[in-house]
Structures are given as structure tokens and as C-alpha cells.
Amino acid sequence: MEPSVGPPFFHPSTLVRTAMRESVERLWPELQWISDDELREQVTRTWMVAMERSPLEPQDLEQIPFTLLIPDCPATFMEHKRCVVHIARRSAEAMDEFLGRALPIDLDVVIAGAILADVGKVLEYERVDGVAVQSARGQALRHPFTGVAVAMECGVPDAVCHIIATHAGEGNMVKRSTEAWIVHHADFMSYEPFKTLKK
């Protein structure tokens, strides 16, 4: 008997994973800046896993505020995060141009770290009646901790996990790498001014 010919069978979970990958790649066109294929896949998978475990949907990231520490924060999560990635990349390129002989910088590590720095926030936030609030998990574990946990699970190298761990205030207690300093300052450059913004 001839085998039947038809479209390949897709398990529902395969379709869900494909849709999540497409959502992550749509949110993060900057993934294509990572030249190392394996690292790009690890970063993509980290975002996929985090979103699968999050009470949020991918489209929520384009609506929720990037921080709950600023009342009525006028910038969204993705506006802030993509800005951080762009600042970090341009800063690393300028530093490499002028200081590269004395200060080696791994651009892939900078970009990957900037994209992943706040991945744990999708486990720290939830929406109640359409409003972003801190989840019970977020009250127990800040995003640098949950972000590192998911990234390590997805095989992200230690140099990038170090950036996730040290990009916020927690990093003030340890010695940051050059790449971590770049992401840290890119993050705070696009956060601190909002604290003094006139309403």
C-alpha cells in the first residue's frame, strides 16, 4: 500500500511554539544583530520560554509601562528596551572605535545582554483589570534573578547571564565586565531622566 501523501502533521504545541517564535522575532528585530547563530537562538529561546511562563501576552509588552517605579510612566516596555539595545550597541561600537586597542569588547555579548536584561520582568509583572502590577513572584524575586534562571536554562553563556544579573542595582555589589557596564549605563540613561520629567 502506498503511503498517503499530505501536509506534515503539526502537534498543537509545535504550532504554539512557532507562533511564539514569530511574536518574539517581531518584538525584537535587533536579534538579527547577533552574529553568532547559536547565541541568537539561545537569546530567542530565552524570550520564548519567559513569555510562555508569563501571565502577559507578547502584545502586552508594547502597552505596559517599562517600570512600575515611575507613576504614570509614559514609555512602554518595548520602547524602553529597544532603546537600551540601540544605545548599548552604538556605545560599544564607539568604544571599540576609539578604545578597542586597549579595551576589548564583545559586541555580540553586549547586544545579547541588552536584549535579555529585562526578560525576567515578564515574570515580575501581570495585568489586573488591564493595569500592569507587580505579581506575587515579582514581589519575591526581582527580574535580574528570574532572568538569569531562564537564560541559564536556555544555555545562554555566563558572560551574557552576568549582564542580566548586574544590569540593575544588584550589580553594584559585584565587579561588572566591560560589556555589563555598557548595558548598565544604557539602561539607566533611558530610565533616570523619567524620574525628573515634568508632568
Q: How many angstroms separate the Cα of 167 from the Cα of each of 22, 48, 51, 120?
A: 27, 21, 20, 12
Q: Return the pLDDT at 14.
A: 79
Q: Return the pLDDT at 108.
A: 98
pTM of the model: 0.91
CATH 3.30.70 corresponds to the domain 37-195? no
Cα–Cα distance, 180 to 110 (Å, whole number): 7
Indicate if the pLDDT at residue 135 is higher than 60: yes
Q: Return the pLDDT at 199.
A: 65
The full set of domain ranges for the chain reads: 37-195
Under a CB-based contact definition with an 8 Å cutoff, are residues 182 and 84 in contact?
no
Q: Return the pLDDT at 1.
A: 47
Q: Which three cell numbers stand for residue 72?
A: 504614570
pLDDT-based confidence at residue 8 (cuts at 50, 70, 90): low
pLDDT-based confidence at residue 12 (cuts at 50, 70, 90): low
Indicate if the pLDDT at residue 50 is higher than 70: yes
pLDDT-based confidence at residue 157 (cuts at 50, 70, 90): very high
